[in-house]
Copies of this chain bind each other. A is one copy, B any other.
């Protein structure tokens, strides 16, 4: 973070967010950005990622900074770089210039936040500074800053969602309600992330026919993200083993008859994420079995998006996807029975064992650092039902939310070879028929969708989902 562009739309957006927050809480708020985490030694760190709550109100990925929000006012706490750091890291902006860039009314060094020391020189369980006294906060991810939060706030700052309490819980709920509904500034960033992710997927498709291992396709995709000055919002999944849902391996050879599943999303410099999955045939041509199952997943994807509008329960979208997939598998002769019965018995979850999606924003699973506080409407908890317990979002949709829609079909050995499940569903699944679809290990189709006043806008619509268009991109 060396250069500062004066950006009045950022300043205005941040001010509007602060003013909204001030209508929701009547106590001061302190948000830490965090520090970079060491990789193998202290000076060799992972790239710095600021806390998303900080980014939402501060706009810039400032390392080791704190903001204080009270009654719409913004106060910045950050130390200026040492003169020696100019040699290694170049000239860095002055504290006051950073403050001006984010619309802060005042700015101080971090030492202002320190509590008084007691007569023995200890700085714990003594008087907090006037800046931190009575302020709510949210625990950051990195341990070093989290330990600082304990000292500065003179109390435990819990990161475990189940333990957040008091004004910290009130603050978390207020932030959830704000971050849930995206403003124009956020949407602009989400659209930028989507555009770069789309280009990355197209590059991956185009690179496939010359590639021999998964890593080469991943590399072609991430190249686009890096070239556009963005980072990956999460560890890319680029694999011919799509049945491993969070596959983080890239060494498999790709065969000409394989499907390749790529779940890759970019994140803008200020932290806004995209999350796209496409599945394509390595050869550029889907087999007839691959085509059949792909179209089942696509039908579920399209049905969910068509059903999106304010007031709709996201859980109902999940069940709509389940029904659509079950119906498709009945049509293909893989399942037998009535669709409603099949879904009631969770048979679809044999092949679609995860939720249909999640909220998206500054985090790819937005606000998941707060557990299910954002994903689940107050009073609701995760279901015990197979296939529903991985549902990350269970609340009615509102205009301004961005959700992913990502149904899938997978042949997971750990599920399909499980003797208990095979016994339970022996009358429903035609295993011989299923065996004819052995060239499909995993298919997922995922888009990012903005809930609008009247329905839905697919932010990632510029990347096709239909087989013919995908085949063309792979063959291009």
Contact between chains at A219 and B215 (CB < 8 Å):
no
CB-CB contacts below 8 Å: A15-47 with B: 37-47
The verdict on A49 contacting chain B, using a C-beta distance below 8 Å, is yes
- A40 and B49 contacting across the interface, CB-CB below 8 Å: yes
- The answer for the CA separation of A251 and B89 in the assembled complex, in Å, is 15
Chain B residues with CB under 8 A of A223: 219-220, 222-223, 226
Please report which residues of chain A, range 220-270, place their CB below 8 angstroms from some CB of chain B when the two chains form the complex.
220, 222-229, 234-235, 241, 243-251
Q: In the complex, which range does the number of interface residues on chain A fall in?
A: 35 or more
A365-B144 contact given A220-B223, A414-B83, CB 8 Å threshold = no
CA distance A83 to B229 in the complex (A): 39
The prevalent SS among residues of A at the interface is loop
Cβ contact within 8 Å between A250 and B229: yes
| Interface presence of A405 (CB below 8 A) | no
- A47 contacts which chain B residues (CB < 8 A)? 235, 248
Report chain B residues within 8 Å CB of A45.
Answer: 235
How far in angstroms is the closest Cβ of chain B from A206?
13
Counting CB contacts under 8 A, is A2 at the interface? yes
Q: How far is the CB of A394 from chain B (nearest CB, A)?
A: 18
A41 is contacted by which of B141, B228, B248 (Cβ under 8 Å)?
Answer: B141
**In angstroms, how far is the closest chain B Cβ from the Cβ of A229?**
5
Q: Mark A49-88, 1 if CB is under 8 A from B, else 0.
A: 1011000000000000000000000000000000100111
A65 to chain B, nearest CB (A): 16
B41 pairs with A363, CB closer than 8 A: yes
Question: Is A172 an interface position by the 8 A CB rule?
Answer: no
Contacts of A44 in B (CB 8 A): 234-235, 363-365, 368
Chain B residue numbers with a CB within 8 Å of A363 are 40-41, 44
CA distance A244 to B81 in the complex (A): 14
Residue of A142, A219, A224 most packed against chain B (CB within 10 A): A219
| A46 / chain B contacts, CB cutoff of 8 Å | 37, 39, 46
Q: Tell whether A109 is near chain B: CB-to-CB under 8 Å.
A: no
Inter-chain contacts of A218 with B (CB < 8 A): 226-227
User: Which residues of B sit under 8 angstroms from A224, Cβ to Cβ?
Assistant: 219
Q: Mark A179-215, 1 if CB is under 8 A from B, else 0.
A: 0000000000000000000000000000000000101
In the assembled complex, the Cα of A248 lies from the Cα of B2 at a distance in Å of 10
Task: Write the A82-102 contact mask toward B (1 if CB under 8 angstroms, else 0).
Answer: 010011111100000000000
Can you list 8 A-B contacts (CB < 8 A)? A3-B251, A38-B141, A40-B141, A40-B363, A41-B363, A47-B235, A90-B247, A215-B228
Report which A residues bind B (CB closer than 8 A). Answer: 2-3, 37-47, 49, 51-52, 83, 86-91, 141-144, 213, 215-216, 218-220, 222-229, 234-235, 241, 243-251, 271, 353, 362-365, 367-369, 412-415
Other A-B pairs beyond A3-B251, A39-B49, A90-B249, 9, CB < 8 Å:
A3-B249, A40-B362, A87-B414, A88-B244, A89-B247, A215-B227, A219-B227, A220-B227, A223-B223
